[in-house]
Structure 1
Amino acid sequence: MKKSILLLVLLVSIFSCKQEKTNQKKNLISKPNVLFIAVDDLNNWISPIQNFSNVKTPNFDRLAKMGVTFTNAHVQAPLCGPSRASLMTGLRPSTTGIYGMTPDNLIRRKDNSATKDITFLPEYFEQNGYHTMGIGKLFHIHAPDSVFNESGGRIRGFGPYPNKRFVWDGFGTSKSKKEKYGRTSTDWGAFPENDTLMPDHQSVNWVAERLQRNYDKPFFMGLGFLRVHVPLYVPQKWFNLYPLDKIETPPYKADDLNDIPPVGMQINDLPMMPSTEWAKESGEWKKIVQAYLACISYVDYELGRVLEALESSKYADNTIIVLWSDHGYRLGEKGTFAKHALWETATKAPLLFAAPNLPKGKKINAPVEMLSIYPTLLELSGLPTYNRNEGNSLVAMMQNNSGIDNSYALTTFGMNNHAIKKDGFRYIQYEDGTQEFYDHSIDPNEWTNEAKNPKYKTQIEKMKKLLPKINVKWDAKSNYTFQPYFVEQKAKIGSN
C-alpha cells in the first residue's frame, strides 16, 4: 500500500513538472515577436509626419495606420555611432562618454564603467527566452560579435558606387583644409539599374525568408536599412517620381547663423559637405532634394516588402513593430546638407510603433526620445524592466496619453553640448556656457536666437534644470576625426 502511494506521488510529481514546463513553453511562445527596423539618416519628411514636397511613402502611411506615430521624436546624438550606441545600451552619451564613433565590439569594455556590464537591447530579449536575429546597419556597422543568435551581417560601405562620382568629390570646396576633415560619400544621382542590386533589397530578402520559418520561441528580428544615407543613389525609377519643376526646397535664410555662438559655428564647420549657397548657385539644390526624396521612396518600397512578408506569415497578429531613424538630416537648412548639429532638423527623426495592444492610426506630437525604445519594447513584450535603462517607456503615453504634458527630449553632441526640446521650445547650451533658445510657435525654422531675450528667462531656467547632471569625459575608444572641433575637444578634455 505504501509503495502504491509512493508511486502515485512520484507519478503526480513527474506529471506536474512536465505540465509546468509545458505551460512555461506555452507562455513563452505566446509572447509577442519584435520586428525592429532602423532607417539610416531619415528625417521627418515622410508622409505620415511632414509630407514634404508631396513625398510618396504609401508604406510608411500603411505602418502609421497600424499603430502610433511620434511626430516629435528626437535622437540622443545627431550622429549615427553615438545615437545607436545610446539606443542599444539604454544609456545617454553623457553617461557613457560615447560621443563619437566607437567600433561595435568596443562599446562594452571593462575600462568603461558605464558599459562594461551593460546588456544590449537584443541581448535582453535573448536572456528572456527570445531567438534573436539581425541584418544590416543596427549598431554603427552591424552589431557586436555574438549579439544575435543569427546574423545576416552587413555589406560594408554605402554603395553600390558608379565608377565615377556624379557630382561631389567628397572633399568639398575647401581643398586646403581637407587634411583636417573627413571625406564624405555625399553625392547624388540615378544608380544602379535596378532595386535588386541594392544591399537593402538583399537584407529584406533575408528577413522575408526568415519570416516564413517556424520558431519554438518568440523572435526579435532587427533590420537596418542603409538608405537614405549618402550617397543618394537609387535606380532612376525613384527619381522619376519627383520632376524637378515640382520640387520644393526647405526654408533657408542666408544670414541665419549670424547669432550663433562660436562653439555652434565650430560644430557646423563642414566644408566637406555641399553648402546651401553652392547648391543655389550651381543649380544643384533641387537635384539634391530630388535624390533624397527618391531614396525615401525606395526605402518605403522595401518597407512595403517587409510588411507584406509579415502579413503573409503566421506571425502577423502577434508581432510588435518599431521603426526609427538614428537622426534627422538637413537638406539646406542652416546652410548645409548634413546632420551634425543640435538644431531641430538634425535631432528630429521618425519613430513609429505598432503592436496588438496599441491604438491604430494615432499621432503624438509631444517630444520623446529614441532612448525610450528599449524600455517601451520591454513593456510591450511583457518582459521585466531593465533597471539600467535611462529612458522611459512610452506605452502609457500611447495607450492613454499619460505623461504628454511633462515630456521632453535631450540631445548631446560632444561633451557638455546639449539641446532640450520641450513645450514648443528648443534650448541649447554649449560647453562654454553659451546658449541658443528658439520659440517654435513663432520661429519654427530657428532663425532667431532668443537666448538673451528677457521674455524667455524663466523658460530658459526651467529647461536648464533638465540638462544631464553627469557629463563624463570621452570614452577612450570613441572618436570623431571627421571634424576638427571634436578632435580638439577630446584632446583638451582627455578621455576615460
Structure 2
Amino acid sequence: MNNNVVSSIFTRFFLYQSAGLSLLIVSLIHSTMVIAQEAPLQSPPKRLNVLMIAIDDQNDWIEPLGGHPLVKTPHLKALAERGTVFLNAHCQAPLCNPSRTSLLLGLRSTTTGIYGLSPWFRDVPALSGRLTLPQAFHKAGYTTLTTGKIFHGGGGKPKDRLKEFDEWGPAGGVGKRPEKRLIQPPPHPNPLVDWGAFPHLDSEKGDTQITDWAIEKLQQRQIQQSSSTGETKPFLMCVGYFLPHVPCYVTPEWLAMYPDDDSILPLINEEDRKDTPRFSWYLHWRLPEPRLKWLQQYEHWRSLVRSYLASTSYVDAQIGRLLAALEATGEANNTLIVLWSDHGWHLGEKGITGKNTLWERSTRVPLLFAGPGVLTGGKCVEPVELLDIYPTLAQLCQLEAPTDLEGVSLVPQLTNPLAVRQRPAITSHNQGNHAIRTRDHRYIRYADGSEELYDHRVDPHELKNLADDPALSALKKQLKSLLPSIDQPPVPGSKDRVLTFDQKTHRAIWEGEIIELSSPIPE
C-alpha cells in the first residue's frame, strides 16, 4: 500500500466485546483530510400569502361580534371560528379617508393631519414618499393585487396607481342603480343617501364584480403554478367591499331575509343626547345622513335598518364565494386572511345615522385573522386598533416596515387571545377630539374640554354619561393621561367633514361655517 495514501487517511476498526455487547469503534488517525457527506439542501419555508378583505361602513352587526341579534352572516361566522376575532377592535378615525390612510400608513390621523375626505395623502409633502403596507409587501417580493375600495378615492391618479399595487381590478362601488330614488331626499340631500330593494341581479352589483375578478386571479395563479417549473411569488390580494355603505341597494330576495317589523330596530333612548355635551353635535353638524327624527317622521327607519342588514348578508355571501375559491386552489393552508372595516355606522343610536362620532357604534369594527399561526376559535377582548394591522403583517410576513409605526403587533394575541395589552384603543375625529377605549370604559374628550365617560361593564350601549360623577375623577384623570401626545392641525387642502376649534375665541368652525353657541342644532 502507498505510504502517502496511508498517511493522508487511515481508518482502523476495532471490535471490542464486553458484557455481551459488540462495540464498533472508529478511530480517525489523520486529520489532514476530512471526508464529509453533505446534507441534502432544504427548500426555504414557503412564504405566506395574504388575503385582505375590507368592508366599507360595516359596524358590529355581524354574527362574530353579536351587534345585532337577527343578522345572518354565516361565512363571517365560519371565518371567525377558524381563526381569532377581536371583540374590542376600534378604528383610528370614524371616516373613510383618515381611517384607511391611518391603517395603510401605520400612523394616526393626529400624526398625519388627515381628518377629512380630502386630501389624498400623496398630495401631502410630508407623506408623499411614505411606504404603505402594500408597498412593503411589494418590496418584500410579493405580487400585490387590489380590487374594490382599499384606498379612499381609488388610490390616487390613474398614472400613479401602479406605484401602489402591481395589479388593479374593477373599482366596484354601487353597480346597477334604480331609475329613480327609492326614498325621498333627506334635509341635506346627497345622491348616495338612499336605500331599499329594486329588481336587479346580484351579478350587476359592484361587489359581485370585484369578487369575480379576485376569484379569476386566484384561478389564474393555480393554472400558472400547475404549468410552471418554478415557484410563483407569494401574493397580497386586497378586496374592498362597498356595501353596506349607502346607497344600500339590494335585490328583493336579500331584503326578504329580514322581517318588516320593529323587531329589527336597534335599542335607543329618545332622551340619549340630554347628557352629552353640545360639542358632540359639532362632529356631525350638517351631514347628508339623516337624523333619527326625520327617519321616524317619514317612516324610513325600519327600511334603512332592513336594507343595511340585507346588504351585510349579501356581502357575507360574496366573501363566502371568495373563500371557497381560495380553498379550491389548494393555497388556503398557506394564506393568512385578515378582515376589517374602516369604521362603524349609526342606525338611530344617539339620534343619528352615519359615522363621524366617537361613540362605540361608530368606532367598533370587525377585525378577524385566520390562517397559519393563528389560533382557531380565539376571542380576544383586549382593546386593539386597526393601526395594529401593519406591524402584525410585517412581523408575520417578514416585511421591512418603517420604524415609526404607531401600532403594535397582534401576534401575541393571535396565539394567545388572553395575552394582555398595556395600551388602549384611541379614535380621533378632527384635531382635539378623542376617545379612549379600555377593556371596561370609554372616555371622550372634545376640543372645548367637555367630556363623556361610560362604564361598559354595566352600560354597553353608552346610555349614561358618568363624566360629572366626582367619585370617578381619578379614573377620568388616568384616562385623560392616555390622550394622543401628538395632535396635528388639519393639513392644507383638508375639506369635507373637517371641524376646527379656535381656543382663543372658543368658536367651532364646521367646513368654514362658524358655529355660534346660539346656533340651533341642524335637524
Q: Could you tell me how far apart the structure 2 residues matched to 1:51 and 1:470 are?
A: 32
Over 3 Å counting, the alpha-carbon distance change for 1:266 and 1:45 in structure 2 is: same
2:48 maps to 1:36: no
Alignment correspondent of 1:188: 195
Partner SS state of residue 88, structure 2: strand
Q: CA deviation at 1:387?
A: 1.1
Of 145, 165, 184, the residue aligned with 1:148 is 165
Q: Could you tell me how far apart the structure 1 residues matched to 2:367 and 2:180 are?
A: 36
Deviations 1:431-451 (A, max 9, x none): 121111111122222122211
Alignment correspondent of 2:25: none
Alignment correspondent of 1:256: 272
2:511 maps to 1:487: yes
Deviations 1:240-283 (A, max 9, x none): 11121373211111121112222211223345322222323333
Over 3 Å counting, the alpha-carbon distance change for 1:192 and 1:374 in structure 2 is: farther
2:414 maps to 1:398: yes
Over 3 Å counting, the alpha-carbon distance change for 1:341 and 1:184 in structure 2 is: farther
Q: Could you tell me how far apart the structure 1 residues matched to 2:509 and 2:86 are?
A: 32
Q: Could you tell me how far apart the structure 2 residues matched to 1:93 and 1:395 are?
A: 24
Alignment correspondent of 1:206: 213
Tell me, which stretches of 5 or more residues in structure 1 are unaligned? Answer: 1-15, 17-21, 492-496
Over 3 Å counting, the alpha-carbon distance change for 1:97 and 1:454 in structure 2 is: same
Of 63, 66, 86, the residue aligned with 1:70 is 86
Alignment correspondent of 1:3: none
Over 3 Å counting, the alpha-carbon distance change for 1:137 and 1:357 in structure 2 is: same
Partner SS state of residue 36, structure 1: strand
Alignment correspondent of 1:343: 359
Q: Using the TM superposition, name which of 481-490 and 396-405 deviates more.
A: 481-490
Of 233, 249, 267, the residue aligned with 1:233 is 249
Of 312, 317, 320, the residue aligned with 2:336 is 320
Q: Could you tell me how far apart the structure 2 residues matched to 1:246 and 1:56 are?
A: 17
2:380 maps to 1:364: yes
Q: Could you tell me how far apart the structure 2 residues matched to 1:32 and 1:284 are?
A: 46
Over 3 Å counting, the alpha-carbon distance change for 1:94 and 1:84 in structure 2 is: same
Q: Could you tell me how far apart the structure 1 residues matched to 2:170 and 2:475 are?
A: 47
Alignment correspondent of 1:4: none
Of 311, 314, 318, the residue aligned with 1:295 is 311
Q: Using the TM superposition, name which of 275-284 and 214-223 deviates more.
A: 275-284
The one-letter code of the counterpart of 1:429 is: R
Q: Could you tell me how far apart the structure 1 residues matched to 2:446 and 2:124 are?
A: 30
Partner SS state of residue 404, structure 1: coil
Tell me, which stretches of 5 or more residues in structure 2 are unaligned? Answer: 1-37, 226-231, 500-507, 516-523
Matches for 1:422-437 after TM superposition, within 5 Å: 422-437=438-453
Over 3 Å counting, the alpha-carbon distance change for 1:240 and 1:260 in structure 2 is: same
Partner SS state of residue 379, structure 2: strand
Q: Could you tell me how far apart the structure 1 residues matched to 2:403 and 2:199 are?
A: 46
2:68 maps to 1:61: no
Alignment correspondent of 1:128: 140
2:434 maps to 1:418: yes
| Percent of aligned positions that are identical | 41
Q: Could you tell me how far apart the structure 1 residues matched to 2:184 and 2:481 are?
A: 43
Partner SS state of residue 475, structure 2: helix
Alignment correspondent of 1:269: 285
Partner SS state of residue 312, structure 2: helix
Alignment correspondent of 2:463: 447
Q: Could you tell me how far apart the structure 2 residues matched to 1:469 and 1:489 are?
A: 28
Q: CA deviation at 1:361?
A: 1.3
Q: Is the 8 A contact 2:88 2:439 kept in 1?
A: no
Partner SS state of residue 221, structure 1: strand
Of 330, 338, 347, the residue aligned with 1:331 is 347
Deviations 1:335-383 (A, max 9, x none): 0111110111001110000121111111112211000011111122233
Q: Is the 8 A contact 1:376 1:395 kept in 2?
A: yes
Partner SS state of residue 211, structure 2: helix
Q: Is the 8 A contact 1:331 1:338 kept in 2?
A: yes
Q: Is the 8 A contact 1:135 1:142 kept in 2?
A: no
Alignment correspondent of 2:149: 137
Q: Is the 8 A contact 1:53 1:247 kept in 2?
A: no
The one-letter code of the counterpart of 1:487 is: E
2:131 maps to 1:119: yes
Partner SS state of residue 247, structure 1: helix
Q: Is the 8 A contact 1:142 1:153 kept in 2?
A: no
Of 176, 181, 206, the residue aligned with 1:165 is 181
The one-letter code of the counterpart of 1:448 is: K
Q: Is the 8 A contact 1:137 1:223 kept in 2?
A: yes
Q: Is the 8 A contact 2:383 2:421 kept in 1?
A: no
Deviations 1:274-293 (A, max 9, x none): 22223233332222111111
Q: CA deviation at 1:184?
A: 5.3
Over 3 Å counting, the alpha-carbon distance change for 1:37 and 1:486 in structure 2 is: farther
Max Rg structure = 2
Q: Could you tell me how far apart the structure 1 residues matched to 2:191 and 2:438 are?
A: 33
Deviations 1:117-174 (A, max 9, x none): 310110000001101000110010222422111111414x5343211101132xx23x
Deviations 1:414-445 (A, max 9, x none): 11111010131111111121111111122222
Alignment correspondent of 1:108: 122
Over 3 Å counting, the alpha-carbon distance change for 1:154 and 1:437 in structure 2 is: same
Q: CA deviation at 1:490?
A: 11
Q: Could you tell me how far apart the structure 1 residues matched to 2:497 and 2:433 are?
A: 17
Q: Could you tell me how far apart the structure 2 residues matched to 1:401 and 1:202 are?
A: 35
Q: Is the 8 A contact 1:184 1:272 kept in 2?
A: no
Of 47, 50, 62, the residue aligned with 1:46 is 62
Over 3 Å counting, the alpha-carbon distance change for 1:311 and 1:268 in structure 2 is: same
Partner SS state of residue 365, structure 2: strand
Q: Is the 8 A contact 2:436 2:444 kept in 1?
A: yes
Q: CA deviation at 1:461?
A: 1.1
Q: CA deviation at 1:489?
A: 8.6
Greater fraction helix: 1
Q: Could you tell me how far apart the structure 2 residues matched to 1:381 and 1:402 are?
A: 23
Q: Could you tell me how far apart the structure 1 residues matched to 2:191 and 2:424 are?
A: 32
Alignment correspondent of 1:380: 396
Q: Is the 8 A contact 1:78 1:341 kept in 2?
A: yes
Partner SS state of residue 342, structure 1: coil
